Chain A
Amino acid sequence: MGEHIIKLPDVGEGVAEAELVEWHVKVGDLVREDTVLAAVMTDKATVEIPSPVDGEILWLGAEIGDTVAIGSPIVRLKVAGEGNVKPESSPAAETINAEPPAKLATPKPEAAPPSPKAPPKADEAKAKPAPSPASPKATGQVSISGAPRPEGEKPLASPAIRLRAREAGIDLRQVAGSGPASRISHEDIDAFLARGPQVAKTSGLARNDSIEDVKVIGLRRKIAEKMTIAKSRIPHITYVEEIDVTALEDLRAALNKEKRAAKGAERPKLTLLPFLMRAMVKAIADQPNLNALFDDEAGIIHQHGGVHIGIAAQTPSGLVVPVVKHAEARDIWDCGAEVNRLAEAAKSGTATRDELSGSTITITSLGAMGGVATTPVINHPEVAIIGVNKMMVRPVWDGTQFMPRKMMNLSSSFDHRVIDGWDAAVFVQRIKTLLETPALIFVD
């Protein structure tokens, strides 16, 4: 019998550490080769760590939420044969066991030095009277946390307490007793009075004082970090404009009807997104400084020739941003197909790290949820994000009368450090012109 140590493999280029987001095994489990042991998350992607050998789990080197450096031991397995730990190196393994250096996260409180309180001596413990056999049962029967007493059971309280409650207008049936057999004391009345009368008045609506601690891990943590960076470093300017998409909608309907009839299932059903993407490509051609990554530490704006449009998408585990690469080189159908493919991949969790990174500008849409306007948060280090609000038919004054028009708002944010309000407005107005006269999208 030997030991096999599994180290965190290199999960992607340039990645030095990864967050452990899930254990699929626990100590004592028997695993086969290729059994998935754990999942780790890098900047964008979740990577599963399979077992390279058969064996029994002896030790797990990290807790969920810990950030682990590439190459750190994360699992020790008992395996048949020699394993990969030589006998003379076992002290090293023990060291690992004793203090996993792989953990980059701050030590947990339980790892703190032992509390100054000495553990009770054995004889002291013995001297303590054994708890009354009744107490645990009693508190179980009538919970001291204030659970209602069984129907018809009188609250247990001395005459003095009952009188005080009567005069204070307290219904003792509502008061939790902290004494033996849930006897109500003066202190319980004090506590009840301090909490106020709303508890007593509840009629079916119970107060809920519970607090659930949810560890922010995995994708949620990534999102939290990114949002913090974006909002703390980027002074946003948000510009909202309404766009008449009546013509665009007519065109979209016509294209969907004709092209799909002609080409069959090969062509996707077009949404509004591909048109917006193509309009953005056109507008960016005039204002390339909006398709850029701002390295504020180096003081350099990387203006990209390729328009890589991130599409913010909601997935069961949170927000991800798959990227349509080189939108400038894709026609409207190609854009549509690529958006559909990436959205599907993101939702099913199969999007690769490559597909989830490399955007130079982003579109965010709450789609059917509606909303008149949003204040989108820029996908750092980009400098612009276009937010799509819900399209709806509104009355529009055409100079002589109100006309029902399909109107849609665009809420767009820009990094005001490098984009002036004027430039932002020019960009959005350009997109507005393109979308309101969609033929312009297709004319060079």
Chain B
Amino acid sequence: MKEISCKLLVIGAGPGGYVCAIRAGQLGVDTVIVEAGKPGGTCLNVGCIPSKALIHAAEEFEKVAHMAGGKSPLGISVAAPTLDLTRTVAWKDGIVSRLNSGVAGLLKKAKVKTVQGWATFRDGKTVEVETETGTQVIRAEVVVIATGSAPVELPFLPFGGPVISSTEALALGEVPKKLAVVGGGYIGLELGIAFAKMGAAVTVVEALPRVLAQYDAELTRPVVKRLAELGIEVMAGAKAKGLSTKGDALLVETSDGKNAKLAVDKILVTVGRKPVTEGWDLEQIDLDMAGKFIRIDDQCRSSMRGIFAIGDVTGEPMLAHRAMAQGEMVAEIVAGHKRSWDKRAIPAVCFTDPELLTAGLSPEEAKAVSSEIKIGLFPFAANGRAMTKLGEDGFVRVVARADNHLVLGIQAVGQGVSELSAVFGLALEMGARLEDIAGTIHAHPTQGEGFQEAALKALGHALHI
């Protein structure tokens, strides 16, 4: 049995873990990172990156298919496209692979030792890793748990056969003809829309009265409209019950209580993600929990001295960029810097068509913290650049305090609005008031002008509406 000692041990090389390790390495902390799979975690291997690759391919395919229909107002006509999903997936895998080695390279450059294998806790300072070459014992002064999350499985629809999770959905060899998506959250809709664009007949089964229920109805309306255009059927208020005995249909209880049978080739279950807190002997260290998640304080410290936790294992929002910011902060704390979680906003993007973007407080949340608020909404229908991209659906919405005009939240829905997340986040972190945004020159013609106009609208003097 081999033994090594280090200052910092990071368990899990997802976006939280690898950023933590790289930053610690930069700061001269003797760091080891353990990962059972490939570096990059869910995000890089089976989440953000591959899904965006597939979504992009689907978008391109749908555009061409739309042109082939001869109805493109752009005047372009082409022959009907075909899709070789195997090649698409291979292309996607190439990107993932490049990024895997990129992360591995970054870790190496930061002088972080990577141990491949599955870690289990022996005690709060000692971890055993089952590697290909035997058991590796690692003793560390500080341990960071960054084990991430995994798709939630439904007991009556266990993964396997036609029932797949997002991971399998990103590696299919062909486009399913009929796809049922159980769970109309952002993952289900992102993938459902992508497969619909690639030619699948998609039905979304959502138990709540509407899809994307964590967003307000005004914001999701353009997405719901687009679902209909793409021929995606939404069964709201409906419950998936299980697989038919033949395995070729999904049993559903509809909103009016009737039993329905959906003929399907694949069933994609996207009903949420759960923290990975099993399989690595969490019981050995007996950490305080917050529900299913590891409880942390504003420095990501767990209830045990010397053990930090970051990323999805610590709770919502389960977003890669939150984990990265936590990882960076923890590395600096371990290196002796004074740090604490004081972020104002964690923007969230939903890569549906059109895209959804939120940062800070929604109008409802803002009302709860500030007695009076101002809301400015600017539709892309009045934005020149959006028109030239055939992307008039959607809007930018700014929520601010009525008394001092401090911006509390910013939302957008529309084509390509994900790139506005940078400016939304910056505005909130910098403590912008409506006047700051209104007084910033936004380049013309861009969709970003919608942000300035929304601020002007909230101030009562929008120029282009």
Contact = CB atoms under 8 A, between A and B. Distances in A.
A235 B436 CA distance: 70
Contacts of B339: 166
Interface string A163-185: 00011010000000000111100
Interface stretch (A135-143, A316-324, A386-394): A135-143
A156 B431 CA distance: 6
A134 B431 contact: no
Nearest to B400: A134
A132 interface: yes
Interface residues of A, number: 19
Interface string B179-206: 0000000000000000000000000000
B405 A134 contact: yes
A267 interface: no
A157 interface: yes
Contacts of A156: 406, 431
Contacts of B434: 134
Contact of A134 (B337, B429, B430, B435): B435
A81 interface: no
A306 to B, nearest CB: 76
A159 interface: yes
A162 interface: yes
Contacts of B218: none
Given A134-B403, A166-B338, A183 B431 contact: yes
A132 B338 contact: no
Nearest to A139: B404
A153 to B, nearest CB: 9
Interface in A136-162: 137-138, 141-142, 154, 156-159, 162
B400 to A, nearest CB: 9
Contact of A137 (B337, B342, B404, B431): B404
A184 B339 CA distance: 19
Nearest to A166: B338
B340 interface: yes
Interface in A97-150: 132, 134, 137-138, 141-142
Given A142-B404, A180-B404, A167 B337 contact: yes
B344 interface: yes
Nearest to A159: B429
A175 to B, nearest CB: 13
B433 interface: yes
Contact of B404 (A138, A158, A166): A138
Contacts, number: 46
Q: Which of B340, B431, B433 has the most CB of A within 10 A?
A: B431
Interface string B72-93: 0000000000000000000000
Q: How large is the interface on B (under 10, 10 to 19, 20 to 34, 35 or more residues)?
A: 10 to 19
B33 to A, nearest CB: 26
A138 B338 contact: no
B401 to A, nearest CB: 8
Is chain B's binding surface mostly helix, strand, loop or mixed? loop
Interface string B226-255: 000000000000000000000000000000
Interface centre among A137, A167, A180, A181 (most CB of B within 10 A): A181
Contacts of A181: 401, 404-406, 431, 433
A138 B405 contact: yes
A209 to B, nearest CB: 25
A158 B431 contact: yes
A141 B404 contact: yes
Interface string B118-144: 000000000000000000000000000
Contact of B433 (A134, A142, A169): A134
Contacts of A167: 337-338
A154 B344 contact: yes
A181 B431 CA distance: 9
Contact of A141 (B337, B342, B403, B435): B403
Nearest to B406: A181
A312 to B, nearest CB: 59
Interface string A264-282: 0000000000000000000
Contacts of A137: 403-404
Contacts of A154: 342, 344
Contacts of B436: 180
B210 to A, nearest CB: 32
Contacts of A134: 403-405, 433-435
A295 B177 CA distance: 123
A169 B338 contact: yes
Contact of A158 (B338, B405, B429): B429
19 contacts: A134-B403, A134-B404, A134-B405, A134-B433, A138-B403, A138-B405, A141-B403, A157-B431, A158-B429, A158-B430, A158-B431, A166-B340, A167-B337, A180-B433, A180-B435, A181-B404, A181-B431, A181-B433, A183-B431
Given A134-B404, A166-B340, A182-B404, 4 more contacts: A132-B435, A134-B435, A166-B338, A180-B404
